[in-house]
Amino acid sequence: MTKPPLALYLAAPRGFCAGVDRAIKIVEMALRKWGAPVYVRHEIVHNKFVVDRLREQGAVFVEELEDCPDDRPVIFSAHGVPKAVPAQAQARNMIYVDATCPLVSKVHIEAERHHEAGLQIIMIGHSGHPETVGTMGQLPPGEVLLVETVEDVAKVEVRDPSKLAFVTQTTLSIDDTAGIVAALRAQFPQIIGPHKEDICYATTNRQEAVKAMAPKIDAMLVVGAPNSSNSRRLVEVASRAGCSYAQLVQRATEIDWRAIDGISSIGITAGASAPEELVDEVIATLRTRYDVTVTEVETATENVEFKVPRALREPA
């Protein structure tokens, strides 16, 4: 039977960012240096496929430091941790490696600098997300206030409206954040913002590629995990940019075939913690049903690389 034609538009850039790549390398190098088991506090990145593969190599994923023995190395995830966590590890004389993305660390440093200048900080982020918890945990309670929406801005209670700064979670939607920033500036005209945008280059680039693809396609598949903030934002960005159907899939097995029945064009992208092999799997699965023609939509070139900590570059 003849397969129906399908024009497939592939976002570039997509998938792993430099911070995710570095975090995964840190776990792999720690396993080579110290042997298994190596403990990891929280998922190293938000992707089940990546986590399961590292687990097979000997990584043990735990929720809290209390779940780790004193005599084995522990790695802190790419999302960052509150200051109390490394302090606790030091008190227990543990070997620990911090895999926090350097762009998240930049936000931590920013928050501390504002605090030292006597400013209270408003963080734009998602409640309960590990990155938000980590950033807010850099400073004493009450020094960082969280807002998630424009509506939250009207309700936030600050100590002194003339002594405020704001920071943002790095994986948010650029458009959503712009609205919240505008509301903050309207309500608190003296508020100080970041010197450079907190939303990371990879989040921005992936969202821009989706916006460029959306008018060309009938449907969009975003390869990523449901607990991945940047992946979920890509689905939202696609919908807002005019794509009539957008779905988040962890693996090809999750594609909703009924929802894309009768389409002639589809876009594929991947969140910053989704490996390329999962994108390849989705494309291969589409080829079993369609006569696929692939066009890459490139909106930016990425050549960022972050070094792993010195402790892992030195011999055991």
Is 105 marked as binding a ligand?
Answer: no
Asked which of 101, 123, 143 is the last residue of a domain, the reply is 101
Q: How are beta strands 144-147 and 246-249 bridged, if at all? A: unpaired
* Tokens found for residue 26: 């840190």
* Tokens found for residue 255: 């594609």
**Contact assessment for residue 75 and residue 26, using Cβ atoms and an 8 Å cutoff:** yes
Does the pLDDT of residue 258 top 80, yes or no?
yes
CA atoms within 13 A on the CB side of 259: 12
Choose, from 116, 131, 157, 197, the residue flagged as catalytic: 131
Has 131 been annotated as catalytic? yes
Q: Are 205 and 288 in a shared domain?
A: yes
Does the pLDDT of residue 215 top 80, yes or no?
yes
Average pLDDT over residues 171-179: 90
Query: For the chain, how long is the longest CA-to-CA vector?
Result: 71
Write the Ramachandran bin of 80: left for phi over 0, alpha for psi from -120 to 50, otherwise beta.
Answer: left
Is 42 marked as binding a ligand?
Answer: no
Write the Ramachandran bin of 65: left for phi over 0, alpha for psi from -120 to 50, otherwise beta.
Answer: alpha
Question: What is d(CA 222, CA 244) in angstroms, rounded to the nearest whole number?
Answer: 14
117 part of a folded domain: yes
Give the pLDDT score at 196.
78
CATH of the domain at 78: 3.40.50.11270
Does the pLDDT of residue 169 top 80, yes or no?
yes
| pLDDT interval class at 101 (50, 70, 90) | very high
Asked which of 187, 211, 231 is the last residue of a domain, the reply is 187
**Contact assessment for residue 166 and residue 109, using Cβ atoms and an 8 Å cutoff:** no
Beta strands, E only, 157-257: 164-168, 219-223, 246-249
* Tokens found for residue 11: 């976002």
Give the pLDDT score at 152.
98
Give the pLDDT score at 290.
97
Give the pLDDT score at 176.
86
pLDDT in tens, 280-299: 999 999 999 999 999 999 99
Domain count, the chain: 3
Is 195 marked as binding a ligand?
Answer: no
Helix or strand run (H / E) with residue 12 = strand 5-12
Q: Are 12 and 55 in a shared domain?
A: no
Is 129 marked as binding a ligand?
Answer: yes
Average pLDDT over residues 243-269: 97
| pLDDT interval class at 260 (50, 70, 90) | very high
Q: Which structural domain, as residue segments, surrounds residue 46? A: 18-101
53 part of a folded domain: yes
pLDDT in tens, 52-99: 999 999 999 999 999 999 999 999 999 999 999 999 999 999 999 999
Average pLDDT over residues 4-10: 98
Q: Are 156 and 217 in a shared domain?
A: no
Asked which of 101, 136, 170 is the last residue of a domain, the reply is 101
Q: Are 93 and 127 in a shared domain?
A: no
AA identity, residue 263: I
Mark out the alpha helices in 4-59 (DSSP H runs).
18-34, 48-57
Is 100 marked as binding a ligand?
Answer: no
| pLDDT interval class at 198 (50, 70, 90) | confident
Q: What is the DSSP letter of 252?
A: G
